[in-house]
Structure 1
């Protein structure tokens, strides 16, 4: 993408990247000014070069998406502390269904 704009607040991916690292890099383009970013992934059909890890991320319906992204870049001894890294109530679409905070309840209407 090569974008170095500090005020990006929404990143939209049309289709899955081939690897999870690409998804992290592309969504990481937003929020450089410290504001919260909304990252949207519209998963179309998967190509032949998509890794099993990316396929698993796409079909996941149970585990927090943010947690899955963090875990894929941590060493084994750091994975136990993912809950401390994933800040409270910056919910992915899966966690927002279970969250009862004001922000999540208003976004699920």
Structure 2
């Protein structure tokens, strides 16, 4: 996984495509948490969501790294440079290099569970 001590720029959140469209129109709506009155239940459910989103974000980063490594593979006739990958992913070139390295480690089986 990329170095946790590196400073990352904030990414804009991806839209949650499975949230009902009428709920998306309501800025107060978030996975029905606003409807919970019991603070203990609210804390438990919000914690569940936080952990699920963290796990999903970690998994998405692994897939980004896999894609970056595959795109940078010198055996590909349409190989991309780290500069090209950085531009496409809105990363710095240094971060793109680290992600390519991380992806290569994953492709060798050094850090990811079954895909």
TM-score > 0.5 by shorter chain: no
Larger radius of gyration: 2
For the superposition of Structure 1 and Structure 2, which TM-score range results when normalised by the shorter chain?
A: under 0.3
Q: From the two aligned structures, give the one with the greater strand fraction.
A: 1
Structure 1 or 2: larger helix share? 2
Q: When the two structures are superposed, what TM-score results if normalisation uses the length of structure 2?
A: 0.21
